[in-house]
Amino acid sequence: MLAGATAHAAELKAVDAPPPSALELSDISGRVHRLSDYRGRVVLVNFWATWCEPCREEMPSLDRLQKQLGTRSFVVLAVNVDEPEARIAKFLSAMPLDFPVLLDAGSKLTRAWKVRVLPASFVISPDGRARYTVTGELDWSAPAVVERIAKLLPGQ
Partner 1 sequence: MDRRTFLKSGAALPAVAATTGLPGFAFGTTAETWRIFEVTTSVEVLKPAGGTHVWLPVPLTSDTDYQKSLGNAWTAEGGTVRYTQNPKYRAGIVAAEFPQSVQKPTLRLVSRFATRDRAVDLSVKGTGAKEDPAVLRLNLAATDLLPTDGVVRRTAQEITKGKKNDLDKARAIYEWVVDNTFRDPQTRGCGVGDIKSMLEAKNLGGKCADLNALFVGLARSIGIPARDVYGVRVAASKHGYKSLGANSENITKAQHCRAEFYAQGYGWIPVDPADVRKVVLEEPPGNLAVTDDKVQRMRRMLFGAWEMNWLAYNYAHDVELPGARGPKVGFFMYPNGETGAGRLDSLDPDGFKYTITSRELKSV
13 contacts partner 1 (rule: CB under 8 A): no
The smaller minimum CB distance to partner 1, of residues 69 and 118, is found at: 118
Instruction: Identify the H or E element spanning 45.
Output: strand 42-48
Per CB under 8 A, does 1 bind partner 1? yes
What DSSP element (H or E) covers 108?
A: helix 108-112
Pick the binder of partner 1 from 12, 26, 28, 52 (CB under 8 A): 52
Give dist(CA 59, CA 143) in Å, integer.
Answer: 17
Q: Is 29 helix (H, G, I), strand (E, B) or coil?
A: coil
Helices 53-69 & 143-150 angle (0-180, nearest 10): 60
CA atoms within 13 A on the CB side of 84: 3
Q: Which stretch binds partner 1 (CB under 8 A): 12-20, 30-38, 52-60, 147-155?
A: 52-60
- Interacting positions 14-43 with partner 1 (CB under 8 A): none
Stretch in the footprint of partner 1 (CB under 8 A) among 1-9, 13-21, 26-34, 124-132: 1-9
The 93-132 contact track toward partner 1, x by CB under 8 A, reads --------------x--x----xxxxxx------------
Q: What is the C-alpha separation between 110 and 142, in angstroms, rounded?
A: 26
d(CA 25, CA 37): 12
Among 16, 29, 30, 86, binds partner 1 (CB under 8 A): 86
Residues 132, 12 contacting (CB under 8 angstroms):
yes
Position among 39, 87, 108, 151 found at the interface with partner 1 (CB under 8 A): 87
Site of interaction with partner 1 (CB under 8 A): 1-10, 49, 51-55, 81, 84-87, 90, 107, 110, 115-120, 135-137
